[in-house]
Amino acid sequence: MKFGQEFWVILMATMTLVAFSVGCRSTQYSENPSYTLAFSSDTVLFDTVFTSIGSITLPLKVYNVNSEAVIIESIELMGGNDSQFRVNIDGEVGPEVTDWPLLAGDSLWIFIEVTVDPNNASNPFVLEDDLLFRTNGNDQSVKLAAWGQNAYFHGGLDQLTPLPSCAETWSPDRPHVIYGIVQVETDCSLTILPGTQVHVHPGSGLLVYQSSLNVLGQLGSEVVFQGDRLEEEYASLPGQWGIELDFAFETEFGVEEVTIARGGIWLYGGVACQIQHAILKNGTIGLQVDTTGTDTAPALNIQNTRIFNMSATGLFAQGATIDGYNNLIYDCGLATVALTLAVFTGWTIAPLRIIGPMVGSVNRLLYWSRIGMKMSMDKFKPDHWKEVR
């Protein structure tokens, strides 16, 4: 064998031995009792969560800030299987994992959720648990806390559900949560008392079918319609609720499916409906009116109401007659109002009437005041609302 060949054979053998020895070197885990873990937070706090409804997922990051690797002897949810919290530890489902290795300077993710069991409380209540970490004999814990809120639940997911009685009243002692389409049946009525909070699940809403809706808010005790997620990041997120209808039809390319959005409150043949001092926010289409009313009363009388932050349209009216004053509609993604053959009467000396078809513009501010209904490009200001209210 020539010298050159010998050199390369020896070199390759040496590299192989080095790689083998490095690859076989085992990680040394320290048992130093002074080593502890660090956490991204000492408390994981959930905003108010409705009972029976799962929360969003919140993260917790765990750090090994020591100069050597350690073994976390256990990570344990103290409530065990009876806890209303749930943990996922880097892909391992709790409530407990053991002998978890963590290299020096490394970290691991823990993801936490909660589902609050209902009780008899009307006011929000606190739910707590602890996540315990044991490392080299040291115990550390992170507090888990959530605010629970009991509620009245109406309807069911992807269902059309009539109200249980023909003369239904919703009171403000607990929030009301709508799943699917909740229907006020023909010749029946739904009355919503001052201060009532109505939370609507995505794709859901209230259908008033040839019947009456009476939203009876008062100044300082408005009736509020919004989504059913109460976490801070949802506070001003549009498109969270509103009726959605799915249709399938045959085409030359096969079966096509479409989803059609309708109002979160949909008056279809509504009879003398009234909305007073209400707030509709963060939906898709806030209010839809598809009815001409009667000889003696409009389809809807709406007063002192705000509709805003809709991903599509604030007010959608087709062949409708609506009376109203002191109302604000603003900050909508597609149209503030969309009117098709709609008649609006403002409470003025010479009532102002708009007959469609007409579509409002993006982010315009529409308000009825005692001097009529106006369109404004001005940015909404709270003190302006006080003036027209």
pLDDT tens readout for residues 148-200 = 889 999 998 888 999 999 999 999 999 999 999 999 999 999 999 999 999 99
Residue 74: Cβ-neighbour burial (10 angstroms; 0-12, 13-18, 19+) = middle
Q: Which residues contact 89 (CB under 8 A, 6 or more apart)?
A: 75, 97, 100, 108, 109, 110
Mean of pLDDT over the chain: 82
Q: How confident is the model at residue 362 (pLDDT cuts 50, 70, 90)?
A: very low
For residue 370, pLDDT over 70 is answered with no
Scored b (16 or more CB within 10 A) or e, 341-355 reads ebbbbbbeeeeeebe
Scored b (16 or more CB within 10 A) or e, 210-237 reads ebbbebbbeeeebbbbbbbbbeeeeeee
Residue 157: Cβ-neighbour burial (10 angstroms; 0-12, 13-18, 19+) = exposed
Closest by CA position to 135, among listed 258, 290, 31, 219? 31
For residue 135, pLDDT over 80 is answered with yes
Query: What 3-state class would DSSP assign to 9?
Result: helix
Report percent pLDDT > 90 for the chain. 56
pLDDT tens readout for residues 210-219 = 999 999 999 9
Q: Are strands 212-216 and 273-276 parallel, antiparallel or unpaired?
A: parallel
pLDDT tens readout for residues 311-338 = 999 999 887 888 888 889 888 988 888 8
Closest by CA position to 288, among listed 331, 157, 280? 280
Closest by CA position to 331, among listed 348, 350, 344, 312? 312
Of 26-35, 221-230, 255-264, 282-291, the range with the lowest mean pLDDT is: 255-264
Q: How many CB atoms lie within 10 A of CB 256?
A: 10
Q: How far is CA 64 from CA 29, 102, 353, in A?
A: 12, 7, 69
